[in-house]
Every structure is written in structure tokens, then in C-alpha cells.
A and B are shown apart, each in its own frame.
Chain A
Amino acid sequence: MANRITLNMITQRSIEEGVAMEKGKTTPEYFEACSIIEMHDDDVKALGLVPNQLVRVTSECGSVVVKAVKGRQSLYPGLAFIPQGVWANQIVPPRTQATGEPQYSGFPVTVEPVNGERRKSALELVQGAVGLWRGDQ
């Protein structure tokens, strides 16, 4: 059992994200739809995760805590998925290969289980990044 593994990350739209986004990005629905990661069973086993365990995902430019869930849409071993949205964009590298388009899919991340940490809300992440977060009002 490894403490940490390296995976190839992709971030794309999910319908749950689409529906929740229209309801509002500060809703619990958006939080549950987007603050998750999906992986192949082999990788879940390699990390010794129990269902719905929180993990820290770290890329070359940042890190974020999300919940490891079993998705309906399967991946092959070594590939991981976080739905498009606020949590994914904490770790998406802004490099664009001179096209304007960030590296939303196909970038290396490390994944490790965490204890005693929590998932941050969308507002806390985005406002926190720019010094505007004032705590839960």
C-alpha cells in the first residue's frame, strides 16, 4: 500500500456539475458535484482508500482536498478525473502551449489520503486565493 501515487489527471464537464452550476456555485449540490475525484479501482486499492475518503491532489501548481468516489464512467489504471469546476482549477496548470488553452487534461498529479483535513467550499477557495475570504459569514 502506497502513501502516495502519481496519476494522469483529466478535468471535464459532468452533467451533475452543469445542473448544480445553474442552481448556483455556492449551493451544496455544486459542492458535492465538483469536489470529488474518480480513479480506477487498482489505484484506489494501491492507496488503501475506503469509499468517500478525502485525498489531497497536488499538481505542479497547487493542491486541493477532494473526496474519492466511485464514478459511473470508468477510467483505466493511472488515469484520474475531477469534474470541471472550482476544485479542479486549483490544480490545473495555466500553461497553454501558446494557444491560450490551459492544460485542463493530461497533467501529472500526486494523490495521497489525508486525515483531519476538510474540503474547502468554492467561495473559500476562490476568495481565499485573492485575499477576500472573511470566513463563514
Chain B
Amino acid sequence: MPKKVENVGCPYCGVCCDDLVVTVSDDGKQIIEVENACAIGNQIFHHATGGERVKLPRLRQPDGTYKDISYDEAVDYAAKVLYNAKKPLIYGFGSTNCEGMAAAAKVAEKAGAVLDNCASICHGSSFLAIFDNGYPSCTLGETKNRADVVLYWGANPAHAHPRHMSRYSIFPRGFFTGKGQKSRKIIVIDPRHTDTAQVADIYLQVRQGHDYELFDAFRAVVRGHEIPEEVAGIKREQILEVANIMKKARFGTIFYGMGLCHSDGRNHNVDIAISLTRDLNDYTKWTIMAMRGHYNITGPGAVWSWQYGFPYCLDLTKKDIAHMNPGETSSVDLAMRDEVDAFINIGTDAGAHFPIEAVKHLRKHPWITIDPNICMASEISDLHIPVGIVGVEVPGIVYRMDNVPIQYRKVIDPPEGVISDEELFERIHKRLCELEAEGAAKAEIKAAPAGVRAEE
């Protein structure tokens, strides 16, 4: 009899839907059906058992091809790369569990590495603004139960967080919002008339890169000042209308996304969004939330802040002293300045998602990819180490976009022999300790293990 597993969490986006029902075959090896997930969530589960999986680590050979090696050999290779590098960079973590993040941090500290996560190219600007200006936020449950006005600014959940609107913001009937969509006003502000804008009551087409001015105009109006005829492409009447709706709300939430963080102004755009939220709290209750992308990209911020006091861009090259300085210790900046001499890509795909110029710089040095699947990073690595898929084959804790921790479960076993991120990093850590002890005993000459460099 196929088995139904309930309350399964989805390992894709920051909405962290934990209401999936997954039907698994008799032998526990195949995923037959996935209920409640969106198109992307569905794909993740079906892909796990549907296609060809890499089951052994693969090491790049001098002719450019890959050769299968054992996990022991892969652990040894990774540990030697880290041991021999002056300033290795360990980056990614959007798609793994908190247990794996903590184990990786142990490795980073031992190796004297820079430890960074995808926030570095995503919501890092939000951290900077939050440090400066606070974070008057809430949980998604509060938005669902209380919000009568929801504003999406530079965020397109219809594409990036497909069930965000149906689970938490626009459509659900909450405790004080029993009429669902009918009891809510939805405002969308974006330079593109997105699919999210389609469901909005009010849509403002802000000029790309001019969000700061529009926030400023809203703040001016909320505080009773005059504004010009038009700001950032939006007419004064529309700004007055939306400001009035915001002031009269019983409870409002601003959900913002990459439109603010990826455009000119970066953290300053988020900073003024927070200031507007604070201003509105003179009149009524308003909250703000970053639309975190990956299902556990909030995780490393929580785990490493607890371990080291900083959420990302952690420089641990002095080992027992941590410092963080985005612009200096951020992955893309480090890459562009050629300041790192080894790269571990884990739970992300820097090969596809970094600007190609940064990829080229990083590839001058040893590059190791830790990922369940074939991706761009795995296809340009010296070493690809496959691991189990968190949320499908490996259980663990993840943090939802509103900082709520959720215990994810596994529904099937990983392919035979394939280990978890956590176990892998624990084994690399152990090997690093051995190398350190051997090195101290023999004062061995350091030499990087052979691989294929970009310039070769």
C-alpha cells in the first residue's frame, strides 16, 4: 500500500508551506503524488526520485572529465583544499537545514574561512537597514489573522513565492479577517505590471530605481507635508489615496522584495521602508517583512548570529575572532578583488546566480560544489559532492521568512550511500583536525591537491 505522509514541509521558497501531503510507493523509494504544493514545490519532490541522481562524489580529471571517487576521498580532498588555502570562502546555504549550517560554521572556523550565505546577493541590504533602523515585523500568522491592508513593494509572489498570497496575505480567512479577500485592500508597487499586480486593488507603476523618492513622498504625506504633482512616475492624487488607506488600516503589512535590494540605493530603500512603517505606527498598526527567497535562507542568519553575532559575510580568517563588513567580506566583492583562494559552493548555485565575472574570478582557484543535483556550479567544479535533499530525504530545522523555526521531515531515504550536508561537514571537520595535528607534528610543506584551474 502506498503511504501518505502528512504535514510535509516544502524545501523551495521562504513561504515554507508545511501542509503538503506526499504519497510514497510501497517500497518507500518513489514519490507518487504531492498534494497542496505549487508547481515549483511539486517539481522538487518529483525530481528527487524521477531523474538520474549523482550517487558518488566526482573529481575533475586532467582531461576535464569527472571520475567517481569515494566519500572518504572527497572528504580528504575538501579538507586539504581548506587546510592549504589562505582565505577560503564557504558560500550558499539557502537550501540546507540549520544542522548543516552549524556544522559548516565549525569547518569555517577551523579552516579560517569566510562564511557567507545567499543573503549576500539577496536580502543582505535588509540586514544592513535592520541594523540601522530596527525591524517592526510580525509573523505571517498575524498578517493572515489581522491585516486588512497588504502592500507588496518590489516583490512578485505570484512568481517567486506562489502560495504566499493564498496562505497568508490576500485570500485566506483569518481570525479577524473572516471575509478573506473581500475584507482586504491589496496594493502593489512595482515598475512591472506583474501577475501579482493583476490581483491588486491598487497598482502603482513606480519608475525603476526611484523607490526611495516614492517612500519619501509617502512619509511626507503621512506627516502632513505637501508633495509635488508627481513623484517617481506616480501622480500626487494616487499617493494621497494610498497614504490615506495606509493610515486608516486596522493592521497593515509591507512585504518587500528584490525590487528594493537589487536596485540603486539597496539598503537605503529598505531603511526608508522601515521608517515609513514606523511613521504609520503613530496612527495604526503597521508591520514590514522581507520576502526571503529560499526556504531556509533565514536559517543561517539565525544560526550564525547565535554562534558568532553576525548573520552573513562572516570573516573567520582569524579563527577565534569574527568580523563582518559587507562590501569587504561579501562573496561577490571578495571574488571581484581576487581575495579568496578556494571556494566551496553549498546549497546554492553560484555558477548560475553570480554575475559571470565573479564566477570567472572564483574559478581560478579550487572550487568544490556540495549539492544533491547537477547544477552550473557542479559542472565547473574540481569536486562535486552529492548530498541528500533536505525536506525530502533529510529532516531538519528551517526558518520561515518570518523567523519562525519549523521542523522539516523526510519522506524517503536518500539514494544508497548518499550522506547529509551535516554529516559531510562533520567529516570534513574531523579530517581538518587530523591534518592540523599532522601538520603541527611534521611542519609539513603545504601543497594544494591537483585539480583543473580555469587558466590551465
Binding site for B on A (CB under 8 A): 8, 10-15, 18-19, 21-26, 61-62, 72-76, 79, 81, 84-86, 89-90, 92-94, 96-106, 122-123, 125-127, 129-132, 134
Closest A residue to B159 by beta carbon equals A15
- State A8–B159 Cα separation when bound (angstroms): 21
What are the 8 A-B residue pairs with the smallest beta carbon separation, nearest first? Answer: A100-B330, A98-B327, A104-B262, A22-B43, A130-B363, A94-B355, A15-B159, A105-B262
Could you say which of A13, A14, A99, A106 contacts B208, with CB atoms under 8 Å apart? A106
B277 partner residues in chain A, CB cutoff 8 A: none
Do A132 and B452 touch across chains, with their CB atoms under 8 A apart?
Answer: yes
- A-B contact count, CB below 8 Å? 192
- State A74–B205 Cα separation when bound (angstroms): 10
CB distance from B441 to the nearest CB of A (A): 37
CB distance from A75 to the nearest CB of B (A): 6
Do B349 and A15 touch across chains, with their CB atoms under 8 A apart?
Answer: no
B192 partner residues in chain A, CB cutoff 8 A: 10, 73-75, 79, 81
Could you say which of B39, B122, B258 contacts A19, with CB atoms under 8 Å apart? B39
List 7 other contacts, CB 8 Å, given A94-B355, A126-B351.
A8-B209, A12-B262, A13-B159, A18-B39, A26-B379, A79-B192, A84-B353
CB distance from A102 to the nearest CB of B (A): 5
Indicate whether A99 sits within 8 Å of B327 (C-beta atoms), given known contacts A105-B208, A131-B455, A132-B64.
yes
Do B332 and A14 touch across chains, with their CB atoms under 8 A apart?
Answer: no
B356 partner residues in chain A, CB cutoff 8 A: 62, 89-90, 92, 125-126, 129
- State A20–B82 Cα separation when bound (angstroms): 33
Closest A residue to B128 by beta carbon equals A99
Do B159 and A14 touch across chains, with their CB atoms under 8 A apart?
Answer: yes
- State A13–B156 Cα separation when bound (angstroms): 8
B266 partner residues in chain A, CB cutoff 8 A: 97, 99, 101
A72 partner residues in chain B, CB cutoff 8 A: 195
B448 within 8 A of A: no
Do A122 and B352 touch across chains, with their CB atoms under 8 A apart?
Answer: yes
Closest B residue to A34 by beta carbon equals B352
Do A94 and B357 touch across chains, with their CB atoms under 8 A apart?
Answer: yes
B450 partner residues in chain A, CB cutoff 8 A: none
Do B332 and A94 touch across chains, with their CB atoms under 8 A apart?
Answer: yes
Most interface-central of A21, A85, A130 (chain B CB within 10 A): A130
Indicate whether A76 sits within 8 Å of B191 (C-beta atoms), given known contacts A89-B353, A97-B266, A129-B359.
yes
- State A76–B234 Cα separation when bound (angstroms): 13
Indicate whether A126 sits within 8 Å of B376 (C-beta atoms), given known contacts A10-B191, A73-B195, A100-B331.
yes
Residues 421-456 of B contacting A (Cβ, < 8 Å): 452, 454-456
Do A24 and B208 touch across chains, with their CB atoms under 8 A apart?
Answer: no
Closest A residue to B377 by beta carbon equals A126
A93 partner residues in chain B, CB cutoff 8 A: 355
- State A101–B354 Cα separation when bound (angstroms): 10
Could you say which of B233, B332, B374 contacts A102, with CB atoms under 8 Å apart? B332
Please encode chain B, from 39 to 67, with 1 for each CB lying within 8 Å of some chain A CB and 0 for all others: 11001100100010000000000001000
B44 partner residues in chain A, CB cutoff 8 A: 22
B120 partner residues in chain A, CB cutoff 8 A: 100-101
B261 partner residues in chain A, CB cutoff 8 A: 101
Do B353 and A100 touch across chains, with their CB atoms under 8 A apart?
Answer: no
Residues 184-227 of B contacting A (Cβ, < 8 Å): 191-195, 197, 205, 208-209
